[in-house]
Amino acid sequence: MIKIGMMIGDRYEILEKIGTGGMSDVYKSKDHKLNRYVAVKVLKQEFSENANFVSKFRVEAQAAAGLMHPNIVNVYDVGEENDIYYIVMELVEGITLKKYIEKKARLSVKEAISIAIQVSMGIEAAHNNHIIHRDIKPQNIIISKEGKVKVTDFGIAKAATSNTITSNVMGSVHYTSPEQARGGYSDEKSDIYSLGITMFEMLTGRVPFNGETTVAIAIKHIQEPLPSPREYIPEIPVSVEQIVHKCCQKSPDRRYQTMGDLVTDLKQSLINPDEDFVKMVNPDEEASTRMITDKDMVQIKKQSNRRDSMDEALRLKKDVRRKYQEEEEYDEEESLDDEEEDIDEDEDEEEYDSKMERITTVLAVVAALLIGCIVLFLVGRTLGILPFGQDSEESQNPDQVEMPEVAGKQLEEVKEKLLGLGLMPEINYKETDEYEAGLVLECNIGIGQMVDAKTDIVLTVSAGVSGIEVPNVAGMSTAQGVSNLEQKGFVVNRTESYDTKVAKGDIISQSPEGGTKAPSGSAVTIRISQGAEDNKVRVSNFIGISEMDAMAAITESGLVVGSVTEVNHEDVSLNGLVCYQSYSVGSYVEPGTAIDLQVSLGPKQATYSYNGSIEAPSAEEDPEYREGLNVTVTIDTEDGVQLLNTNTASFPISVNYTGIRSATGTVTFTYMVTTDAVTDTNPETGEVTTTEGTSVQKTIAREIQFTPET
């Protein structure tokens, strides 16, 4: 555990915490060997015992240690001591670019370009070492007191190899590239995109894409064109606007291909800001299909015939040399040669046309035969004439699935499995004291039985001994039914289906049924009528996939992403994945319906409280302690959080803390004890000598246990 004042590596004294990140904390420290101040990044204690985190931390250190550039925060040392993993870096005292932009509202064009050039040069040095930053944003760019611009925090950088690099790491969503938002390929041009967004913010004082959720912003990066910075600040030069647009192209192939190319244009924009010199690359046009004319085909045929043998190629080279040597002689016969060449071309064209006609005829016959075979095959397979390629059982029951075992398992696990098979679970609760609440007791379909997809599976589930009667909401409007259920403490899941007898928007049925008992907080599924069947969208299963994959699937199905929230969920297999969707699988909804998602943060972490009195050091702890001494009292949890730091001479101290993450902690008493003066008399001379008392600092530590919170 890191404490202020401790030494690491026998040379780095920890002075104060200056920053924190997802995996590590950063401390201002003093290097006593070189007598300079440095920044020490320390892996957090909760990750130091995890081999994967330690490995990622070491990769970060090794990648960053290979970079030495004036526009990069340099790494001095890497070490490990008593399970403390740390990186020693250059200490840059200054302000982040983000705070600088907020302070000035927006930057001038020249200042923004100057900063962009320095940032580009730093990133270029990293790219030359095959290192991609992947999280370029104003928060990771520091402007020192001397005006030097430095790129920092290669926290999610990875060494690039000749292999394809894929990563699902997404940096700050306002600056992430479209390919990072999709979780796909990420390379040097992703950094160029993020730098383009950063330039946009420097010039305008705002980010180009914003939204209520991270998902909404990511979709805009993927789908919406970048707005022109001149829409907000008209005085921005044309060349600078074009540079930003080229950096932020959706396709990586259309951006600057290297940081060096970007630096060149940035410097040019300082000299000639209003010139139109930025070349926009369109690989689709460069590689577009071009029609071959008859004359082109004649020339191609000539070139092909001339390369039939090495002898012919050598003869052509001699002819070319002879042509230049005898150029004057050819001038006199030029008109005659032109007539002969026209005759040759006419003969070649006739020969080419006849061959192409024969080839076209053969291809047409082959295509007709293939189409006929395919049609015969499809007709025969449909009528059952052709048995091959089919499994008889599958052909008879192509949409059937095997019923899995569900009895004795938790309801949430069973629901997830059934929905994944396309089956629709209906729940009936049974009050019992023999089984815990939420346990599936029985099912109307036997194990291994083949059933049609979308079949309703009736589950009988234990409600425990404290079940609550479920209100009967069938026939009510959706709003009224949901209100009645939620007032009783139930969670409402909605599914939709077509029904010609129930008005659109009213509840057809519910599961569990009204009048039965179910545990408080359990889910009640209501089936909402959509009236007569029309062009609705069937809701797919998004549970168990990543937020980005769910976002893509929802968008592709013609729906939209609603709110996305992070919640605790007991199923550890869903950590970081979607654990809830607002419409059940198989529901039919209107195109454009918003689907709300919840992403699991993992099981809720246990918390503790501490409510009591801290007594003064006892005689057993320190016989020299005296009442009235001034004592510094601190309380530190096991995970390094300090709850109390106070000076007092009066005990006991009353304390009350809640939400503590650790089960144990330490109370530390620090105080000075002064011994009494001693007087001695010399028996021979009668001389009296007095020895003054001495002061000694005492430190007493006392272990304490915290109380678990319910």
Q: Is 688 exposed, middle or buried (0-12, 13-18, 19+ CB in 10 A)?
A: exposed
Question: Is-contact 12 31, C-beta < 8 A?
Answer: yes
SS3 142: strand
- Give backbone dihedrals phi and psi of 130, rounded to 5 degrees, phi first: 60, 40
CA gap 692, 694 in Å, rounded: 7
CA distances from 119 to 179, 320, 609 (A): 22, 54, 47
Dihedral-angle region of residue 349 (phi above 0 means left; psi in -120 to 50 means alpha; beta otherwise): alpha
Cβ within 8 Å of residue 316, ≥6 positions away: 306
Q: Are strands 491-497 and 523-529 parallel, antiparallel or unpaired?
A: parallel
Q: Taking the mean position of all CA atoms in its chain, how far away is CA 215?
A: 10
HSE at residue 412, side-chain half, CA atoms within 13 A, is: 13
Number of Cβ within 10 Å of residue 345's Cβ equals 15
Give the chain's largest Cα–Cα span: 147
Tally the C-alpha atoms within 13 A of residue 600's C-alpha that lie toward its C-beta.
Answer: 20
Q: Reduced to 3 DSSP states, what percent helix, strand and coil does the chain have, rounded to the nearest 5?
A: 35, 25, 40
Q: How many whole angstroms separate alpha carbon 106 and alpha carbon 100?
A: 9
Give first-to-last CA distance, the chain, whole Å. Answer: 28
Number of Cβ atoms within 10 Å of the Cβ of 465: 13
Cα of 599 vs its chain's centroid, Å: 13
Measured in degrees and rounded to the nearest 5, phi and psi for residue 22 equal: -65, -35
Question: What sign has the CA pseudo-torsion 385, 391, 393, 398?
Answer: negative
Q: Is 272 exposed, middle or buried (0-12, 13-18, 19+ CB in 10 A)?
A: exposed
β-pairing, 578-581 vs 594-600, is antiparallel
H-helix segments, 428-546: 478-487
Neighbours of 9 (CB within 10 A): 17
Residue 135 among the catalytic residues: yes
Please tell me which residue in 25, 31, 135, 499 is annotated as part of the active site: 135
* E strand or H helix that includes residue 115: helix 109-128
C-alpha distances in Å from residue 595, one per residue of 76, 209, 219, 560: 49, 22, 15, 6
Tell me how far apart the alpha carbons of residues 87 and 56 are, in angstroms, rounded to a whole number: 13
Hey, what amino acid is at 431?
E
**CB 490, CB 522: distance < 8 Å:** yes
- Name 343's Cβ contacts closer than 8 Å, sequence gap at least 6: none
Tokens 């002061």: give the residue: 695
Q: Tell me the catalytic residues.
A: 135
